[in-house]
Structure 1
Amino acid sequence: MKDDGQWLSTLTSLTHLDLLSILNLNNSYNWIQAISNISALTKLSLYNCALSDHFISSQTLRLSKFKFPNSLSILRLFDNTFTPSLLFQWLSNVTSNLVELHLELDLVSGLLRSSTPATSNHFDITLQSLERLHISNYQITARDFKSFANICTLSSLEVFESDLTEDLESILHNLSAGCVTHSLQELDLEDNQITGLIPDDLSIFPFLKELSLDFNQLRGKIPDNITLPSQLKALSISWNSIEGGIPKSFGNTCSLASLDLSHNTLTAELPVAIHHLSGCARYSLQYLNLQDNQFNGTLPHISIFPSLTHLYLSENKLNGKVLEGIQFPSQLETLIMYSNSLEGVITDSLFHNLSNLKSLDLSGNSFVLEINRDWIPPFQLQVIMLQHCKLGPDFPKWLQTQKNLMQLDISNAGISDITPEWFWALSTRLHRMNISYNNLTGIIPDFPLRLTEYPFIYLAANQFEGSIPLFLRRAVSLDLSNNKFSDVTSFVCANDTAERLGRLDISNNYLSGLIPDCWENFKSLAYIDVSNNNFSGQVPTSMGSVLELSVLILRNNSLTGELPFSMKHCDNLVMLDAGENKLSGIIPSWIGSGLQQLQMLSLRKNHFFGSIPSSLCFLNGISFLDLSVNQLWGPIPKCFINFTAMTTQERFLTDSYYYHYYTVHHNGGSEMYNYDIIALLMWKGAEHNFNNNKLLLKGIDLSSNHLSGDIPSELENLVELVSLNLSRNNLTGKIPSGIGRLLSLESLDLSRNHLFGSIPSSLAQIDFLSVLDLSHNNLSGQIPTGTQLQSFNASSYEENQGLCGLPLEKLCFVKERHQESVVKSQDENDGFIQAFFASMGLGFFVGFWGIFGTILFNRSWRYAYFRFLNNITEKVMPR
């Protein structure tokens, strides 16, 4: 049945109506016409409702008669594509009761800048009682704020995400040119590109209570003599480039309740900054955020702010010991101080008056928590983050009293203890739990309880053993690596579907036998790491049913046989690492034809044989290819030139610094989560771990095989290669002359082949080259001169009998000069002899003068003549 919205007309008492994405081009007029009959309507939202130019052209006449309900006071028109002309018609019919208007700014732009009298009248009529105006997504200029300045009833103005690139002082000057200075209470210019300095007088808006300048490009110091509005309650200038310290005038703003200067480059001493806030603002301040700056010094007394509820001091340069007897305000709910260099002993007495505390984060400092074993805290925390703080060696018993916990991080806390059973019951309520990098022992009980949330659980680097319990299947991300777990079969092969588990890391355990072949119940699994165990047998066929799989790490087990054909269906794979196993057969052609999202492929140290399949050249997004230590033969494919990811300047594995996966809900919805990739790669001759934004390298490693033929000149086009290793093969021919085009190269190993000829002079052009090995070949000639190539150890060139020049002891400049002299002498002698015998054919007299004329007028021939005579004399009259 066609729904034209006419039934809305019967809802005469309806006050709020939100038509998010409901309208379309075919039914929008009928719906909107029905809205006009809802006499009690006060709030109307038409988000993303297909109100477009096509709609205008077909409905203009009817719309001109449309009337909004007289009761309408709030109108929201975000995410439509209609032009200003439609807006003018509509706003001309809006009642004078309208107090709140939300628009995309491209609509307002036409309205503000139109010069027609009719448009101006519409604008004035519509906005005569407007109190709140929210605008986004348009490139506005400072000049447009002159129009806002004349809306005398406006109390709240929000212009965000609008590419506003003007100077802040010009914006505020234009806005203060009208009557709005007497009404404006909230000004939000967040998330633009506003430039310039903070003006020294913000009191031009005397009734302003909230000012937000977050996420802009403001710079310089906040003026020491800055004047703030006397009624200002909230000031936020985060995510800019503000320097210096906090002016004393901030502390004299007696109504200031919230101050956010986070994510800048403020450099003052924290005790001085706190002192500057100790005026009358000390009594009103409730929220103070100074995180991610460069404040230094130790932690001062914060108890001077009796109303403070939220304090953020993380990611600064605070250092030294916490003052003995320091106290925090009793109203404090949030205390965040992670990632500083603070130290000292913290006892339970520090918290005795913090009964309102809900979030505590002291991570990344060097605190020692000496808590009485039987201590009962006065608070009920929701967040406890104590990473790197020393809590042990005993497991903190006071955690048992916390009934509202949502997040817990006590990783790397020096705890060496059996994990009590009550803790696992407590963990069933957590959203995030991290107890990794301790020395926790025991078997995790397999509770019949289900986790009430879908948590992130990190138990890595402990001594847990036994079977992995089933209740952990409900996690979103599960890291059990570096433990002593010995059984994963029951966890993987449980009957229920693991709907949301997206990341599973069971690497570095004592797992053995076959990898369980029942992965089809994992609907969201994007990351599987089973590396560094004792698994044997074949890779299970059901691994190919994990269709969301992006990362599969099978490295360093004893897996045999071929990779299953079913894995061709894992076409979301970004990374496949099956290295250091006993896999055999030819490299499957379906890797190239089916896994075209691959960016990292490692099959190193297996028993693969045959030629490198040309289908791998379909992997144009590949960034790192490692086929080393196998039994591959034949030539290096020339089609490696298709690896376009190695030819572009973008040197990251993806467009961002993180990877993500989606978990599927039972109702069909999904949720996105980020995860890290940690890749173990051969780098400069040794294994190194790389993760996310450090995965900058692009490399090819085909070493330790039986490859033959020339090094393809096509490799010269992979100009973003950082590492190239073709060593320990049977390659012949010359090093490509254009190898110097690989200007990003840091590591080059061509050793132990049968290469001949000279070292290309272009190699000296690669400035970043830090590892070079050309040893054990048949190279000859002089090593090209240049600071780069002479800086390597002589071992980089050894066992090349024909090579000479620094850094080798075998120098070649003397020999070359001698050879050059002999060649030149021979040429000159030949010329002399030819002239000599030619002269005899013309007669002695002519020949005599021909010879001596030539000798007298050609200096080099004069020397050749006397050498000639000397040689004759030595032959005729030997010594």
Structure 2
Amino acid sequence: MKNRKVIIFMFVLSVVLHVAYGQHHIRGIAKEREALLQFKAAIVDHYDMLSSWTTPDCCQWEGIRCTNLTAHIISLHLPGQYSESLFLGGHSVVSWRYISGEIHKSLMELRHLQYFNLSFNDFRDTNIPEFLGSLTNLRYLDLSSSYFSGQIPTQISSLSHLKYLNLAHNYYLNGSIPPQLGNLSRLEYLDLSGNSFEGYIPSQLGNLSNLHQLYLGRRYHSALKIVTSDQWLSNLNSLTHLYLDSISNFNSSPSCLRTIAKLPKLRELSLSECGLSDHFLLSFNPSNFNFSTSLSVLHLSSNSFTQPMVFQWVSNTTSNLVELDLSWNLLEGSTSNHFGLAMNSLEHLDLSYNVFKGEDLKSFMNICTLHSLYMDRNNMTEDLSLILHNFSSGCVRYSLQKLSLVSNHIRGSVPDLSVFSNLNILDLSNNLLSGKIPEGTRLPSHLEQLLIKSNSLEGGVPKSFGSTCTLELLDLSDNKLSEDLAVMFNHLSGCSRYSLQELSLAYNQIRGSIPDLSAFSNLKTLYLYDNQLSGKIPEGTRLPSHLSC
């Protein structure tokens, strides 16, 4: 009898251990497997994303996860596979694998489902299914970027355990935002941006006291509005990220910004394309208006600021910013040195698409923490050497890692750049630079990418460029270079021959024939088209082993 009890005990223990350590071969729940097969039958799967859905064990299917103990399905993870292969010079190849068709109501059988992700697929002309509201165990729901249309079903408000809801960038979702979403009391993440909603943001969202991240608007010429007298935002004391882009009437609601400024944990705030102007800023008294000290990212792009007073306002209301975006405004003129001295944490500053002149760069030369500065498409017409000399007079020359001056009207040639000791990326493309690059022009010792395409440079590449041991990308395409190709490669054959990965010399007037390139051991991409190369490629000419195009 005693031995029998021991045998039974050992059998039970063996079963428990098999289950606990995943050695038990789970077959799944039959009705849940059937539900998935009905779902598959309604799906259009041109890319065979569901090709594994044939074996008996549905818990082993792609995108499916079951619990070890009960074998119930708890996760359905089938996002489209969107990828962009980005070359160093900005060239990219996009690929997208997705499913489409109908989302079958058989999924209602997955009563234990906690995680549901169908993002980046193609469900155009399809509404978000109302039956999703019956999956009451859901914690995570992501239907973003899948072209759903119609309105948000109010049934979603029944998902009382939901912590994450992402319906962003479906574009054709319309109507008003359901006030019932305020019932999702456990919600921590809500993204409804990039859709076609209209009407007022419901004040019931103020009930979401656990919300950490909220993204609304972000659609060009959005019809979404904020109730100017409403204090619903003041209840969201857990917010760390707040994006209210393209809210059409925000500029008439200074009180909302006062409320936002008091949110104690707010780290990121975006008010892009909200019609904000200098007049809006004048409605605030800096002495009684300050953002929380936690705010580190502020986006104010695509507004109507014209005067540098916005810099003064920012430095008076928040001094802990790490990132400031004021691109796509109408800003011009220089600000006082106070801004540079006050912003002692600022690392990223985007002032692209404004009307600054080159001399205005002096305003930022004392931001000793600045890592990246974007000044694309402004109104710089001065000589490059003068612009950089004025800018490099302060401590920013030691901190700056990326500088972009693309699409201005900058003149002159390429000066010595070695004063910017930590610069990694310099982009001078699409300007009016001309003449030869002087021999001996030194590059920053840590420079990785130099782009001077679409200018009017002549001659060739100075030997000093070949002495930059970190150079990975050199783009001199669309100029008037005419030096012999073999000479150019000879000038680059210093230590940069080991680091260079992409070289673009296309659209020039370069002469000669293709020399032996095997010394450039890491070169992956080489563009030489639209030049004046001639003759035969010499017998025995070797190419770099990693060259792909």
TM-score (norm 1): 0.43
For residue 427 of structure 1, report the CA deviation from its aligned partner: 1.7
2:87 maps to none
> What root-mean-square deviation, in Å, do the aligned CA atoms of Structure 1 and Structure 2 show?
5.3
Q: What SS is found at the alignment partner of 1:301?
A: helix
The one-letter code sitting in structure 2 at the alignment partner of 1:408 is L
1:485 maps to 305
2:242 maps to 408
Contact 1:568/1:595 (8 A) holds in 2: no
The whole-number CA distance in structure 2 between the counterparts of 1:384 and 1:495 is 25
Q: What SS is found at the alignment partner of 1:403?
A: helix
Cα separation, partners in 2 of 1:181 and 1:613, compared to 1, 3 Å: farther
Equivalent residues in 2 for 1:838-849, closer than 5 Å: none
Equivalent residues in 2 for 1:569-718, closer than 5 Å: 570-578=397-405, 587-589=414-416, 591-592=417-418, 594-602=420-428, 605=431, 611-616=437-442, 619=445, 621-626=447-452, 629=455, 636-644=461-469, 698-701=474-477, 703-704=479-480, 711-714=487-490
Equivalent residues in 2 for 1:79-228, closer than 5 Å: 179=13, 199-200=25-26
- Are residue 505 (structure 1) and residue 325 (structure 2) matched? yes
For residue 395 of structure 1, report the CA deviation from its aligned partner: 2.1
1:433 maps to 269
Contact 1:585/1:607 (8 A) holds in 2: yes
Q: What SS is found at the alignment partner of 2:465?
A: helix
1:89 maps to none
Q: Deviations over 1:444-499 (max 9, x none)?
A: 333422112533xxxxxxxxxxxxxxxxxxxx223333332122257349886965
1:720 maps to 501
Equivalent residues in 2 for 1:333-352, closer than 5 Å: 333-334=162-163, 336-339=165-168, 341=170, 343=172, 345-347=174-176, 351=180
Q: What SS is found at the alignment partner of 1:485?
A: coil
Q: What SS is found at the alignment partner of 1:483?
A: coil
Q: Deviations over 1:274-322 (max 9, x none)?
A: 32224xx5xxx7x44446586967424234345x473423347474545
Cα separation, partners in 2 of 1:512 and 1:246, compared to 1, 3 Å: closer
Q: Which protein, 1 or 2, shows the higher relative CO under an 8 Å CA cutoff with sep ≥ 6?
A: 2
For residue 392 of structure 1, report the CA deviation from its aligned partner: 5.4
The whole-number CA distance in structure 2 between the counterparts of 1:295 and 1:484 is 36
1:859 maps to none
The whole-number CA distance in structure 1 between the counterparts of 2:219 and 2:387 is 47
1:236 maps to none
The whole-number CA distance in structure 1 between the counterparts of 2:191 and 2:315 is 41
The whole-number CA distance in structure 1 between the counterparts of 2:408 and 2:221 is 40
Q: Based on CA coordinates, which of the two structures has the bigger radius of gyration?
A: 1
2:280 maps to 443
2:215 maps to 385
Contact 1:479/1:506 (8 A) holds in 2: yes
Contact 2:308/2:332 (8 A) holds in 1: no
For residue 420 of structure 1, report the CA deviation from its aligned partner: 1.2
Cα separation, partners in 2 of 1:745 and 1:548, compared to 1, 3 Å: same
1:75 maps to none
Moved more, 296-305 or 476-485: 296-305
The whole-number CA distance in structure 1 between the counterparts of 2:476 and 2:452 is 6
Cα separation, partners in 2 of 1:290 and 1:362, compared to 1, 3 Å: same
2:380 maps to 558
Q: Deviations over 1:142-167 (max 9, x none)?
A: xxxxxxxxxxxxxxxxxxxxxxxxxx
The one-letter code sitting in structure 1 at the alignment partner of 2:356 is F
Which of the residues 357, 366, 375 maps onto 1:545?
Answer: 366
The whole-number CA distance in structure 2 between the counterparts of 1:294 and 1:336 is 17
Identity of aligned residues (%): 14
Contact 1:506/1:529 (8 A) holds in 2: yes
For residue 354 of structure 1, report the CA deviation from its aligned partner: 1.9
The whole-number CA distance in structure 2 between the counterparts of 1:295 and 1:601 is 37
- Are residue 397 (structure 1) and residue 227 (structure 2) matched? yes
For residue 351 of structure 1, report the CA deviation from its aligned partner: 0.8
The whole-number CA distance in structure 1 between the counterparts of 2:14 and 2:538 is 71
The whole-number CA distance in structure 1 between the counterparts of 2:244 and 2:477 is 40
Contact 2:299/2:324 (8 A) holds in 1: yes
The one-letter code sitting in structure 2 at the alignment partner of 1:446 is F
Q: Deviations over 1:48-69 (max 9, x none)?
A: xxxxxxxxxxxxxxxxxxxxxx
Which of the residues 186, 192, 198 maps onto 1:363?
Answer: 192
TM-score (norm 2): 0.64
Could you tell me which runs of 5 or more consecutive residues in structure 2 were left unpaired when the two chains were aligned. 1-9, 30-50, 81-97
Equivalent residues in 2 for 1:692-841, closer than 5 Å: 698-701=474-477, 703-704=479-480, 711-714=487-490, 720-725=501-506, 727=508, 734-738=512-516, 744-746=525-527, 748-750=529-531, 758=535, 760=537
The whole-number CA distance in structure 1 between the counterparts of 2:524 and 2:205 is 61
Q: Deviations over 1:339-366 (max 9, x none)?
A: 4748555556661882636446353564
Cα separation, partners in 2 of 1:443 and 1:747, compared to 1, 3 Å: farther
Equivalent residues in 2 for 1:836-875, closer than 5 Å: none
The one-letter code sitting in structure 1 at the alignment partner of 2:504 is S
Q: What SS is found at the alignment partner of 2:231?
A: helix
Q: Deviations over 1:486-531 (max 9, x none)?
A: 2225734988696522222333333233354442332222222334
Contact 1:510/1:533 (8 A) holds in 2: yes
Contact 2:449/2:474 (8 A) holds in 1: yes
Cα separation, partners in 2 of 1:378 and 1:627, compared to 1, 3 Å: closer
For residue 750 of structure 1, report the CA deviation from its aligned partner: 3.6
Q: What SS is found at the alignment partner of 1:535?
A: coil
Q: Deviations over 1:620-675 (max 9, x none)?
A: 64323317646x7765313433455566xxxxxxxxxxxxxxxxxxxxxxxxxxxx
The whole-number CA distance in structure 1 between the counterparts of 2:220 and 2:449 is 41
- Are residue 421 (structure 1) and residue 254 (structure 2) matched? yes
The whole-number CA distance in structure 2 between the counterparts of 1:637 and 1:390 is 46
Contact 2:347/2:370 (8 A) holds in 1: yes
The one-letter code sitting in structure 2 at the alignment partner of 1:574 is Q
For residue 336 of structure 1, report the CA deviation from its aligned partner: 0.6
The whole-number CA distance in structure 2 between the counterparts of 1:504 and 1:411 is 15
1:520 maps to 341
Cα separation, partners in 2 of 1:567 and 1:738, compared to 1, 3 Å: farther
The one-letter code sitting in structure 1 at the alignment partner of 2:488 is P
The whole-number CA distance in structure 2 between the counterparts of 1:339 and 1:353 is 18
For residue 401 of structure 1, report the CA deviation from its aligned partner: 2.4
Contact 1:357/1:379 (8 A) holds in 2: no
Could you tell me which runs of 5 or more consecutive residues in structure 1 were left unpaired when the two chains were aligned. 1-175, 190-196, 204-218, 228-240, 456-475, 648-696, 770-879
The whole-number CA distance in structure 2 between the counterparts of 1:594 and 1:293 is 42
Q: What SS is found at the alignment partner of 2:259?
A: helix
Q: What SS is found at the alignment partner of 2:306?
A: strand
The one-letter code sitting in structure 2 at the alignment partner of 1:641 is G
Equivalent residues in 2 for 1:240-255, closer than 5 Å: 242-243=61-62, 253=70
2:33 maps to none
Q: What SS is found at the alignment partner of 1:302?
A: helix
Which of the residues 139, 143, 146 maps onto 1:310?
Answer: 139
The whole-number CA distance in structure 1 between the counterparts of 2:412 and 2:169 is 53
